C-alpha cells in the first residue's frame, strides 16, 4: 500500500503563508544577530503574529489540522531558521488542559520543555514542562531563572524545578514533538545545502567553479538525498500520528527521529566543508543555520524505548 506524502492544497497554502510571513518578518540578518550576547530575546509581538496565522495551534486536539499541518509549518519555519519554543508549543498542547493549551496556541503562553537544570527558552517561559523516563511533568521554578547564553541563539535558563504530577498523553505528545523537530531540522539543513550548492557554483578554484569537482558535488548530492529521505520519513510519521496504532506510531517516529538527526548533522558537516573558513564566521553565510541545527538536534524529544525500537527495526544494529 502506498502513501501520498505530498502536502494537500490546504497544507501547501499554510506552508506558503508561513514562508511569506518569515520573509517579511524574520531576515537572515535577524537570525545572525540572535546569537549575539547583546541581542534581544524572543519578541513576544513576533511570536503573537506567528500565532495569529494559526501555526502554533496546528495539531492541537481541540484545534484544526493535524501532524501534517505541523510538518508544513515547521518546514517553512526551518527554512527561515525562525526562533522560539516551537517544538515545546506543539508538544505541550497534547498534555495540557484545554484552556491552557488554547493559551499556548494563541501565543500568550511560552513553554520551556526539557531536562533541568538547563532548559531552552526558560528565560522567557511562562510554563515549564519536564521530561523524564518517557513521561512529562509540570514543574514550578524553585527560585529565579538564571539566563544562560546558548550557541543556537536561544534564551536558555538555569533553574531548579519542583516536579508536579505526570501529565496524560505523554507518548503522543513526544511523538508530535519529534515530528515537529524533525521537520524543522530537515528543512533548515536542506536550506544549508541549497545555499552551499549556490556558493559552490560561483566560487572558483583553478579556473573552475568548485561545484564541478567531484569532491564537492558528490557530498552535496549525498546530503540532498539523505535529507529527501528524512523528509519523507518524517511526513510518514505524521501520517501515522493520525491513523496508526501506538506501536506503529512509535516505530515510525523512532525512524524519523534517527533519519532527520543523522541527515541534518551530515548536512552540517558537508556544508562547512563546502563553505570552508567563511562558513564558521559569525557573520558568514552558514553558521547561523548550522548552530541552530546542532542545537535543535540535541534537543529532539525521545522516549526511553526509542533506541530499542530502532535497534529491532534495523536488525539489532545500534
8 A C-beta contact, residue 266 and residue 223: yes
Residues 6+ apart with CB under 8 A from 38: none
pLDDT at 37: 58
* DSSP structural state of residue 159: -
What pTM does this model have?
Answer: 0.93
Task: Over range 119-138, report the average pLDDT.
Answer: 94
What average pLDDT is seen over the chain?
91
Residue 316 has pLDDT above 70, yes or no: no
Q: How confident is the model at residue 219 (pLDDT cuts 50, 70, 90)?
A: very high
Q: What is the pLDDT of residues 8-28, one digit of tens each?
A: 999 999 999 999 999 999 999
Closest CA to 21 of 69, 77, 61: 77
Q: Pairing mode, if any, of strands 111-114 and 127-132?
A: parallel
Residue 306 has pLDDT above 80, yes or no: no
Q: How confident is the model at residue 243 (pLDDT cuts 50, 70, 90)?
A: confident
Q: What is the pLDDT of residues 161-216, one digit of tens each?
A: 999 999 999 999 999 999 999 999 999 999 999 999 999 999 988 999 999 999 99
pLDDT at 313: 54
Task: Over range 55-75, report the average pLDDT.
Answer: 91
Cell of 40: 534581544
CB-count burial class (<10 Å; 0-12, 13-18, 19+) for 273: middle
Task: Over range 282-291, report the average pLDDT.
Answer: 93
Residue 204: CB atoms within 10 A of its CB come to 12
8 A C-beta contact, residue 286 and residue 275: yes
Q: Pairing mode, if any, of strands 208-209 and 204-205?
A: antiparallel
pLDDT at 318: 44
More reliable by pLDDT, 38 or 46: 46
Chain centre distance of CA 46:
18
Residue 75 has pLDDT above 90, yes or no: yes
Task: Over range 240-244, report the average pLDDT.
Answer: 85
Task: Over range 41-51, report the average pLDDT.
Answer: 91
User: What is the SS3 assignment for 147?
Assistant: strand
Residue 90 has pLDDT above 90, yes or no: yes
How far apart are the two ends of the chain, measured CA to CA in Å?
29
Residue 114 has pLDDT above 90, yes or no: yes
Distance, in Å, from the CA atom of 2 to the CA atom of 50, rounded to the nearest integer, reads 34
Residue 5 has pLDDT above 70, yes or no: yes
Q: Which CATH architecture has domain 171-313?
A: Up-down Bundle (1.20)
Distance, in Å, from the CA atom of 204 to the CA atom of 208, rounded to the nearest integer, reads 5
Q: How confident is the model at residue 317 (pLDDT cuts 50, 70, 90)?
A: very low
pLDDT over 90, % of the chain: 78
Length of the chain: 318
8 A C-beta contact, residue 82 and residue 22: yes
User: What is the SS3 assignment for 14?
Assistant: helix
pLDDT at 63: 74
pLDDT over 70, % of the chain: 92
Residue 62 has pLDDT above 50, yes or no: yes
Report helix, strand and coil shares of the chain as percent, to nearest 5.
55, 10, 30
Q: Where are the domains of the chain?
A: 171-313
Amino acid at each position: 500500500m502506498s502513501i501520498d506524502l505530498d502536502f494537500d492544497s490546504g497544507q501547501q497554502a499554510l506552508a506558503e503563508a508561513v514562508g511569506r510571513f518569515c520573509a517579511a518578518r524574520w531576515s537572515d540578518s535577524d537570525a545572525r544577530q540572535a546569537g549575539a550576547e547583546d541581542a534581544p530575546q524572543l519578541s513576544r509581538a513576533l511570536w503573537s503574529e506567528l500565532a495569529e496565522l494559526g501555526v502554533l495551534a496546528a495539531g492541537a486536539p481541540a484545534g484544526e489540522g493535524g501532524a501534517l499541518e505541523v510538518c508544513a509549518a515547521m518546514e517553512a519555519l526551518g527554512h527561515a531558521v525562525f526562533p522560539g519554543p516551537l517544538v515545546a508549543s506543539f508538544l505541550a498542547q497534547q498534555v495540557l488542559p484545554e484552556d491552557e493549551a488554547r493559551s499556548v496556541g494563541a501565543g500568550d503562553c511560552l513553554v520551556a520543555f526539557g531536562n533541568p537544570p538547563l532548559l531552552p527558552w526558560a528565560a522567557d517561559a511562562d510554563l515549564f514542562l519536564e521530561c523524564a523516563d518517557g513521561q512529562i511533568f509540570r514543574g514550578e521554578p524553585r527560585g529565579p531563572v538564571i539566563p544562560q547564553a546558548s550557541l543556537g541563539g536561544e534564551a536558555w535558563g538555569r533553574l531548579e524545578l519542583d516536579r508536579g504530577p505526570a501529565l496524560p498523553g505523554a507518548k503522543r505528545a513526544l511523538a508530535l514533538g519529534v515530528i515537529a523537530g524533525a521537520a524543522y531540522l530537515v528543512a533548515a539543513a536542506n536550506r544549508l545545502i541549497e545555499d552551499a550548492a549556490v556558493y559552490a557554483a560561483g566560487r572558483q578554484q583553478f579556473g573552475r567553479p568548485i561545484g564541478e569537482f567531484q569532491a564537492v558535488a558528490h557530498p552535496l548530492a549525498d546530503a540532498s538525498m539523505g535529507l529527501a529521505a528524512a523528509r519523507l520519513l518524517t511526513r510518514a510519521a505524521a501520517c501515522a500520528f493520525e491513523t496508526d496504532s501506538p506501536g506503529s506510531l512509535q516505530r515510525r517516529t523512532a525512524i524519523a527521529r534517527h533519519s532527520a538527526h543523522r541527515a541534518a548533522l551530515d548536512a552540517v558537516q558537508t556544508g562547512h566543508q563546502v563553505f570552508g573558513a567563511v562558513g564558521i564566521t559569525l557573520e558568514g553565510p552558514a553558521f547561523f543555520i548550522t548552530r541552530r541545527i546542532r542545537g535543535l538536534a540535541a534537543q529532539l524529544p525521545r522516549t526511553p524505548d526509542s533506541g530499542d525500537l530502532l535497534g529491532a527495526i534495523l536488525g539489532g544494529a545500534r
